[in-house]
Amino acid sequence: MKLDFNLNLSQQQKLVMTQNMQLSINILQMSACELREFINKELEENPTIDSDFNLKKEAELDQYKKMIESMEYDSSNYNSYSKGDYDEEGVSPLNFVSEKKTLKSYLFEQLHTNKELRNIRIIIDYMIESLDSRGYLDETIENICSKFNISEEKCVQALEILQSLEPAGIGARNLQECLLIQLRREGKLDSNLENIINNYLELVADNKFKDIAKYLEITQLEAQNYGDIIKELEPKPSRGYYTGDEVKFITPDAYIKKIDEEYIVIMNNDVVPQLSINGAYKNLLLHGSDKEVESYIKEKIGSAMFLIKSINNRENTLKIILEDIIKRQKEYLDKGKKYLKPMMLKDIAEDINMHESTVSRAIKDKYILTSYGTVKIKDLFTVGYSTKNSSNGKDVSAKSIKDIIKEIIDKEDKKKPLSDEIISTELSKKNLNISRRTVAKYREEMGIKSSSKRKRI
């Protein structure tokens, strides 16, 4: 076997991602909050960067205030905001959800009115601190007894007091106990309900009342009525109270404003401070003699300049994309979500001569504030279906298809719910050629059960 060693030259095109390129891409896809945190970190590490929120032109700020004040809101389309004016510093209450009472503080308030808890108050306090985000007790009786060196009887007494507080179901150790506590308090609990909750909750979730009726030797109608009672209960007693897991506000990256029948994009310049290079370091670089210091300043100023350039690029790219979107979605902005037209990433990318992946990164986790509330930009992109036998060949968005499917299901006879095949046929009558499989997919995405699980008697 002959081994032959040769030296060959060949040309290859390869994209090498430099550190700066990676940084630029990362900044492009950062949300407003992520960008703000990143800038704060850079300000700590790079002394050559100056930041100031007060460098914006007065005319810009006035225009911004007038835009917000003149916006008309449709309350039926609110997402996370309500109408409000800006204060003198440009901080908008639009960005904040109303403050919620903490669940634990509410429980402590109720205990405060009870003067007869001297010996076990510390145990109840510990149990409250051990509640999880649902309001369930995330600790066993055995562990609590061991930690406080108390009898099981005393621990159970403390638990009963906790479970007697509002909201009903608080301090339960599982879903079954949570539901039983609520029914006892309402005086509705009987042996059949207790049996169903302890043994057949999954059948209730799947509307399999025929099976429940068979196991309990009751009529199917009785089983269905029991199921209705259970479904009205609250599985998460913490709902409606702040538990620390909720997002308090969303910062929009841009505002869409209608002026003289035309929509314009106004970028939210309050997301980040105005960045510039510190003049003292510029002078030090010009007149300094220490080579090591000079090298350090050059490196930091270079990083600062690239950061400023990347942030400007992020803003300009997003603005170009949004301007193209509002050209396509004028009817949606005028009339609401039912008029959202099908739109793909590649459509925008082709319009603005930009790569599809760049568009995807630029809109990632970003929001806009419209007259209908706050909208996630990504939600504006949806596939479309062409109407058949239509003279204008109008496309319908997937969101509109889902709304039609929901409307059909809402109007169905609950004793004879429509199958996905029949819904597909109904859509066909509306000139929408949607397959049974697509109907099933959209139905599941909306959290609607299959026909067999929607059936009532």
Residues 269 and 359 in one domain: yes
- On whether residue 11 sits in a domain, the answer given is no
Q: For the chain, how many structural domains are there in total?
A: 3
- On whether residue 98 sits in a domain, the answer given is no
Residue 74 has pLDDT above 80, yes or no: no
Residues 328 and 412 in one domain: no
pLDDT in tens, 228-263: 999 999 999 988 776 655 444 678 899 999 888 899
Domain boundary among the residues 200, 231, 262 is at: 231
**Cβ contacts of 149 within 8 Å, gap of 6 or more:** none
Residues 213 and 308 in one domain: no
Residues 224 and 113 in one domain: yes
Residues 203 and 290 in one domain: no
Domain boundary among the residues 184, 199, 231 is at: 231
- On whether residue 223 sits in a domain, the answer given is yes
Share of the chain above pLDDT 90, in %: 41
Helices (H) then strands (E): counts for the chain: 21, 8
Question: What average pLDDT does this structure show over 167-186?
Answer: 94
Lowest-pLDDT choice from 178-187, 237-246, 313-322, 436-445: 237-246
pLDDT in tens, 268-296: 877 778 888 888 888 877 776 678 888 88
Residue 155 has pLDDT above 50, yes or no: yes
Domain boundary among the residues 379, 406, 431 is at: 379
- On whether residue 37 sits in a domain, the answer given is yes
Question: What average pLDDT does this structure show over 437-444?
Answer: 90
Residues 371 and 392 in one domain: no
The pLDDT assigned to 311 comes to 92
State the residue range of the domain holding 362.
20-69+249-379
**Cβ contacts of 355 within 8 Å, gap of 6 or more:** 349
Residues 57 and 110 in one domain: no
The pLDDT assigned to 221 comes to 92
Lowest-pLDDT choice from 61-75, 160-174, 234-248, 394-408: 61-75
Residues 123 and 150: beta-carbon distance below 8 Å: yes
Residues 396 and 298 in one domain: no
The burial class, CB within 10 Å (0-12 / 13-18 / 19+), for 46 is middle
Residue 423 has pLDDT above 50, yes or no: yes
pLDDT in tens, 100-145: 568 888 998 888 766 667 778 889 999 999 999 899 998 899 999 9
The pLDDT assigned to 113 comes to 67
